[in-house]
Amino acid sequence: MNLALAPRPAVLTLEADSAFVTLDGVTKVFGTGKRAMTALENVSLEMTKGEFVCILGASGCGKSTLLSLIAGLDKATSGTIEIADGRPAVMFQEPALLPWLTVRRNVELPMRVHDVGADERNMRANRLLAMVGLIDFADHRPHQLSGGMRQRCALARALAQDSELLLMDEPFAALDAITRDQLHDDLNRIWQETGKTIIFVTHNVREAVRLGDRVVLMTPRPGRIAQTWDVEIERPRELDSFEVSGLAHEITTRLRAGAIDHGAE
Amino acid sequence: MERNKLQRVFKAVWPRALAIGILLGLWQLLVVVGFSSPAGEPLPGPGDTWSEIVYLIQTGVLIPALLMTLERAAIGYGVALAFGTIVGLAVARIPVLRAGVGSLLAGLQSLPSVVWVPIAVIFLSLGGNVEFAVYFVVLMGAFPSIAMGVMSAYDNIPPLTFSLARSMGASGPKYYRHFIFSASLPGYVAGMKQAWAFSWRSLMAAELIIGSVASGGLGPILDDGRSLGDIPEMLAAMVTILVVGIAVNDIIFAPLERGLLRRRGLVPA
């Protein structure tokens, strides 16, 4: 099942030939000397435009570190990261909404930062708020929203940055199962509508299988790619469908075997 | 509807009205039991003091003095606000300055500003004009609170806010405007509020020591009362000073702070 280099289905890739995101031998070491800790070791990954890749791993496997390197929030110790289209938008585990701004103003924030004119800002904010189902809450403040609504707002804000690449760092981890399920549906729909390229970090196997075109499993200490699966289950997928459960089971088995494999290397 | 509004006002006002009533009652009680100075001067009661305030207003003494003092307070506070904000931001952002000046600021804040009066009088009474000396004392009294407020406000910005700003590619003025200033506003306003208390105290100390009747202001009225043995005049000045201190806090800073916190969901609406 290791199909990392298999060609993508044509439907999902507009420019299947050219890599949109290229990670080549990315290594990240924190600290120096005896206290040095290798968080990532020789991580290489290629993504095509419009692809939805889930990076899966237990906490401490370096997946969030990898994301912040791609986001440009931190620098790799060695290796290169190339993104075909400018600065990626980031969605964090916490909504990170600015509490003094209304929902609308939060969504408009990236546009204000990048000097988008008032008319276009307003139009795009309306479109995005409608897309995430928050149009009726445009004038609320973050503290008046539920956890799920906050993450919807954060998603709209990330989309407002108008970047082709969207990085998501366990954005639904803090939500209850029912809300998370709804957000999976929404994200799937929004991804299909917008054609964004998404890198989605999670420790939830079923979440990864449900959402991703590809699931990249990472093992910890040092963080490296253990195995990659292409997910060819028809969308929209259901969390407890037979196919999703089956692949999730397979990945979980591999995840459990990780420690043994690691010792054998 | 109208009745509801009335009820709300009453609900907001009664604890304070009660507290003031108790205070005045205790004061009156001291008068009734015949509290007096060792020299035998009786303590004037709230009624006498009120009459004195009315008298001072009618004779055209109190209002010009009050305006004079408020003008000094506004200018002194304004300068302290500007200076403190710049110092606070610099110390918060620049590690060397933080190491060098950070603890000094805390020390300055605890230094009673009245100790600046003698040196201010000698070096800053330009051409016999004491205004600069007064402003200097207010500045030294108030700016450390502003600077400390800015520092702690900056330190309390959630790290995620910085990550967010960077991930959006915000830099320069936009970085400050959309993220740093807005995020630190509640802490900044708390510092402003504290600095007002300090500047008002400093101003009174300065006016009381430096001031002469000719230079105007509330301090000299208080001092005048003391030197003439006019105890009602002293009390009238004291009450005015107290009321102004409270009023500025209640009218300007408290609503500002409450509004900020409410919008951010930090206090119940």
Does A75 contact chain B (CB < 8 Å)? no
Residue B266 to residue B258: CA distance in whole angstroms: 9
Q: Among the three residues A131, A162, A193, which one is the final residue of a domain in this structure? A: A162
Tokens standing for residue A228 = 């990659």
Q: State in Å, rounded, how far the first CA of chain A is from the last one.
A: 20
Of the candidates A91, A72, A212, the residue with the CA atom closest to the CA atom of residue A159: A91
Model pLDDT, residue B212: 66
Q: Which residues of B touch A95 (CB under 8 A)?
A: none
Q: Among the three residues A138, A162, A186, which one is the final residue of a domain in this structure? A: A162
Domain that holds residue A133: 97-162
Output the CA–CA distances (angstroms, integers) from residue A241 to A205, B62, B169, in the order listed.
14, 83, 40
Tell me, yes or no, whether A217 and A153 share the same domain: no
Does A155 contact chain B (CB < 8 Å)? no
Q: Which residues of B touch A89 (CB under 8 A)?
A: 167-168
Tell me, yes or no, whether A139 and A186 share the same domain: no
Tell me, yes or no, whether A23 and A141 share the same domain: no
Tell me, yes or no, whether A169 and A226 share the same domain: yes
Output the CA–CA distances (angstroms, integers) from residue B124 to A158, B132, B134, in the order listed.
56, 6, 9
Read off the CATH number of the domain in which A187 is found: 3.40.50.300
Tell me, yes or no, whether A220 and A102 share the same domain: no
A256: how many CB neighbours lie within 10 A of its CB?
Answer: 9
Tell me, yes or no, whether A143 and A54 share the same domain: no
Tell me, yes or no, whether A173 and A256 share the same domain: yes
Where b means 16+ CB within 10 Å and e means fewer, A27-43 reads bbeeeeeeeeebbbbbb
pLDDT at residue B241 above 70?
yes
A94: how many CB neighbours lie within 10 A of its CB?
Answer: 18
Tell me, yes or no, whether A107 and A225 share the same domain: no
Q: How many domains does chain A have?
A: 2
Per the CB < 8 Å rule, is A100 touching B178? no
Pick from B162, B168, B171, B185 the residue to mutate for testing the A interface (most A CBs within 10 Å): B168
CA atoms within 13 A on the CB side of B68: 21
Q: Among the three residues A111, A131, A162, which one is the final residue of a domain in this structure? A: A162
Of the candidates B56, B46, B48, the residue with the CA atom closest to the CA atom of residue B222: B56
Model pLDDT, residue B1: 55
Of the candidates B72, B203, B87, the residue with the CA atom closest to the CA atom of residue B145: B87
Eight-state DSSP code of residue B177: I
Tell me, yes or no, whether A169 and A155 share the same domain: no
Q: pLDDT per position in chain A (265 positions), as tens? A: 444 444 444 444 444 557 888 899 899 988 888 888 888 888 899 998 999 999 998 887 888 889 999 988 889 899 989 888 778 999 998 899 998 899 999 999 999 988 888 898 999 999 899 888 889 998 999 999 998 899 999 999 999 998 899 999 999 988 998 889 989 999 999 999 888 999 999 999 999 999 999 999 998 888 888 888 898 888 888 888 888 888 889 888 888 876 555 544 4
Per the CB < 8 Å rule, is A73 touching B170? no
Q: Which residue of A87, A113, A161 is in closest CB contact with B174? A: A113
Find the closest chain B residue to A93 by CA distance: B160
Output the CA–CA distances (angstroms, integers) from residue B93 to B154, B178, B265, in the order listed.
9, 17, 28
pLDDT 10s digits, B107-163: 888 888 889 888 888 888 777 778 888 899 999 999 999 999 999 999 889 888 988
CA atoms within 13 A on the CB side of A166: 26
Tell me, yes or no, whether A140 and A248 share the same domain: no
Place of tokens 């973050």: A142
Does A141 contact chain B (CB < 8 Å)? yes
Interface of B with A in 204-263 (CB under 8 A): 260, 263
Of the candidates A179, A168, A149, A261, the residue with the CA atom closest to the CA atom of residue A208: A168
Higher pLDDT: A263 or B77? It is B77
Pick from B166, B167, B188 the residue to mutate for testing the A interface (most A CBs within 10 Å): B167
Per the CB < 8 Å rule, is A87 touching B167? yes
Q: List Cβ neighbours of B6 (8 Å cut-off, separation of 6 or more).
A: none
For the purposes of burial, counting CB atoms within 10 Å of the CB of B157, is it exposed (0-12), middle (13-18) or buried (19 or more)?
middle
Model pLDDT, residue B71: 92
Tell me, yes or no, whether A179 and A258 share the same domain: yes
pLDDT 10s digits, B83-111: 999 999 899 888 888 888 888 888 888 88
Residue A62 to residue A217: CA distance in whole angstroms: 11
Does B185 contact chain A (CB < 8 Å)? yes
Average pLDDT over all residues of chain B: 88
Model pLDDT, residue A3: 43
Tell me, yes or no, whether A50 and A109 share the same domain: no
Q: Which residues pair with A230 in a beta bridge?
A: A214
Per the CB < 8 Å rule, is A98 touching B265? no
Find the closest chain A residue to B157 by CA distance: A98
Per the CB < 8 Å rule, is A113 touching B163? no
> What distance in Å separates residue B253's CA from the closest CA in chain A?
18
Output the CA–CA distances (angstroms, integers) from residue A17 to A13, A81, A142, B13, B19, in the order listed.
9, 18, 42, 73, 78
